[in-house]
Structure 1
Amino acid sequence: MTKLIKCFEDLKDLPQGTEVFCLNSGGLDSAYLICRLIHDFKFKVHTLTLDVGQNDQVSVCLPNYITKTIDVHTVDAKEEFARDCVLPLIRANGIYLNQHPLSASLSRPLIAKHLVRIAQKYKIETILHSATPSQNSMRRFNTSILDLGFNGLYGSPYLNDNISRIDKASYIRSLGATIEEKRSFSIDTNLFCREFESGDLDNPELMNLNEEMFLWTKSVPSENIKITLEIENGIPVRINNQSFSLVELVSYLNTHLGPFGLGRYLGLEEGPLGKKVIEARETPAGYFLLTAFDHLINASFDYKSLLVKRHLDQLWTCEAVEGRWFGTIKNSIDQFNNEFFKNVSGRLTFDISYKTMDCRSIISSTPRYSTEREFDDLNKEVERAA
């Protein structure tokens, strides 16, 4: 029988040695959870580390005696993340309220998918994560785990247990953990996007965009460049005549467009408690691909078709933000987009300069545009006369 875990008290009836599966994000919240489960409850803990291209998030080193007891499951999901999360977002123009592309909304369902898969494989009946009530990740994890058909205990003890970060740090330090010096912001990263919130960004009326947050967009280019993107059947496949996998292509764009200051976003996002918080992010690849796909579909479809597409884009984004990644509505829109993009192919060229990206050429395989407008008008007059 499925049961939602809301606090540590909900775990007290589980016997010592119970196998529990946890997400280890490398941060304070997950470190505290893992230490409590092992040290206080004497559970057998399995952890999942899902590699979606993050490389700068570990801020807590657990004590040796804790890490020795953990059964660690590591999954390289970069290709899966690019194919099943980033590409659907690009096709659905997944931009939150016209402010910024989604990021964490993409990775949370994929993490939940692998938590459920591995838990079922090893017959583990309890899945825990460390999201707090103020984080949208809470409902994204919980909804995904439930929608995936997990039949055991699941949830976050932090839903009802409000434990301060000072108390969490004090507890795990008492067990021998080391914690890096506090950053002035929190960060969530993947191969597509780096997302920042809290700390210096807590007050929307007085924001401090610390340059140390940024990695991809902090240097300055030496000279302007030209980029030509080729899309085949709705999939970006080549840049400047060089073929790439999706992971390689996203990495190439983040590396080569970032120095031009392209792909920085700043906007308010509503949390689960109804309050809005500032989020900053950088995704040069997202900025480029969303712009390129927008140009190509506009060149390839009539106005009425694009109106329908825009409506579905907003609905897809809402479903993803709310955590209904595996729900009927979002999956139905994905099927629509798969059909919509089946014959969308083309070639686009952009001139790139500092903080500027100008489209210089759009070539669609199914063009709705005219290349010789005056000639077309003359032919229309001839048809009417005939």
Structure 2
Amino acid sequence: MWTKKCVREFDHIEGIARNGGRVVTLFSGGLDSFYLLWRLSHHPGLQVHALSVGLGGDAEYDDGAGGVARLGARHVLADQAAVFADEFVAPAIAAQALYLGVHPVSSSLSRPLLARAAVELAEEVGAQVVLHTANRSQNSLRRLNTSIAALGFDGHFGSPYELDAISRDDKQAALKEAGFPDFANRAHSGDSNLWCREFESGLLDDPEWFPVPEDLYTWTAGAPAERPEKVVIDFAGGRPVALDGEPAGLRELVGALNVRAGRHGLGRYSGLEHLDSGEKVLEVREMPAACLLLHAYRQLESATVPAETMREKMSLEQTWTREALEGRWFGSLRAAAQAFVMSVAERVTGRIVYRLDRTGMTVLSVEARDALYIRDRDGWERDTARSASHFATD
């Protein structure tokens, strides 16, 4: 049952709007967020703040045409790409955050940051309503709602699309009639950040047949490259810190690897993710840097961390990933799992050298500080044999 704090359909907005006030809505510039903004413009008593959070993606909304202002809203831009890399992507690398071993997670990392940015803006402007546009077939619904609640927001929040299943055709037709024809050819939904480009819905609805149009891809478009390439990645305390010997922040390093690994065709994924009710939906991803960095981390971890510690960590990796997937980023269990993961990460320092070519990625070198590997087996056998013999004689 709907309570006064939940927004689950457009009628709930109607009730809230009678009292006027300020509203913060997450705004990507896509079909759903633009349609919601258009619906909100029907309530002149509402002061609407449309929040676009920059996460380093290539499809982030630029309101150069003034569409937001035409709908009577204030457009707020928040560049959170560096925060996203440092606070969310970095621990995901250390936690080897893969959904059931199939594909790296992405929106599970960005949604809590979007929720936090929206709540912070609501507190700043005195808004008592925070809206987003996730629907029942999107896992973002529970991730955003759970995060907003966990952050202690005391106003109304949610998505009117949870119970109002308005078709893409109806949204497109309404916006076209309102003077926004650019949405007529949107054949899918997309999400983009520095870690992932993700596509779903529309032409990608049916898992039994989904030939992905090549023009959806950016980083891997035209791959594979003709010539092989050597890539050197340095880690310090579990964190990528340099590329080809040049120090780099994580945001910049991920951006560079998306291009370099992408031109060799690395990082295309497709997979099914479960909804609250158990059904599963198809999602297609492009994640070259994630593909390479997760592999590199595991290689260096295996060189520096005892096997039994790794076994325990691997079980907690899925705990960490599950809590992020279910929207419980701000919960105590994710924090506890991350504390263990990052304590292990302190040992993961060194360098991995790759060859990237038409066959994919090949490890050429693993060079670790405080390494556990043996570099000279014959010498090791002689030394340990002498020690064992001496011990037996004594």
Task: Say if 2:250 is the partner of 1:246.
Answer: yes
Higher deviation after alignment, 215-224 or 250-259: 215-224
Deviation string 1:203-241 (CA, Å, 9 cap, x unpaired) is 222221221111101123131111111111111111111
Percent identity over the alignment is 37
Give the gaps of 5 or more residues in structure 1: none
Residue number in structure 2 paired with 1:213: 216
Task: Say if 2:17 is the partner of 1:30.
Answer: no
Note the C-alpha offset of 1:380. 1.6
Note the C-alpha offset of 1:48. 0.5
Contact 1:27 1:59 in 2 (8 A): no
Which amino acid in 2 is paired with 1:172?
L
Note the C-alpha offset of 1:178. 2.6
Residue number in structure 2 paired with 1:330: 334
Task: Say if 2:87 is the partner of 1:74.
Answer: no
| C-alpha spacing 1:186/1:347, structure 2 compared with 1 (3 Å) | same
CA distance in 1, matches of 2:53, 2:254: 18
Moved over 6 A (4+): 59-63
CA distance in 1, matches of 2:39, 2:151: 27
Q: How many residues align?
A: 386
Contact 2:234 2:351 in 1 (8 A): yes
CA distance in 1, matches of 2:197, 2:213: 14
Per the normalisation by structure 2, the TM-score is: 0.93
Note the C-alpha offset of 1:68. 6.0
Note the C-alpha offset of 1:110. 0.5
Contact 1:61 1:177 in 2 (8 A): no
Contact 1:132 1:156 in 2 (8 A): yes
Per the normalisation by structure 1, the TM-score is: 0.94
Higher deviation after alignment, 177-186 or 233-242: 177-186
Deviation string 1:143-198 (CA, Å, 9 cap, x unpaired) is 00000111111111112222222222232333222323424432111011111122
Residue number in structure 2 paired with 1:4: 6
Residue correspondence of structure 1 range 1-386 to structure 2 within 5 A: 3-14=5-16, 15=18, 17-40=20-43, 42-56=45-59, 58=61, 67=70, 69-219=72-222, 220-386=224-390
CA distance in 2, matches of 1:48, 1:63: 14
Contact 1:62 1:178 in 2 (8 A): no
Higher deviation after alignment, 136-145 or 11-20: 11-20
Contact 1:113 1:145 in 2 (8 A): yes
| C-alpha spacing 1:87/1:291, structure 2 compared with 1 (3 Å) | same
CA distance in 2, matches of 1:181, 1:108: 27
Contact 2:305 2:344 in 1 (8 A): no
- SS for the counterpart of 1:260 is coil
CA distance in 2, matches of 1:272, 1:61: 38
Which amino acid in 2 is paired with 1:243?
P
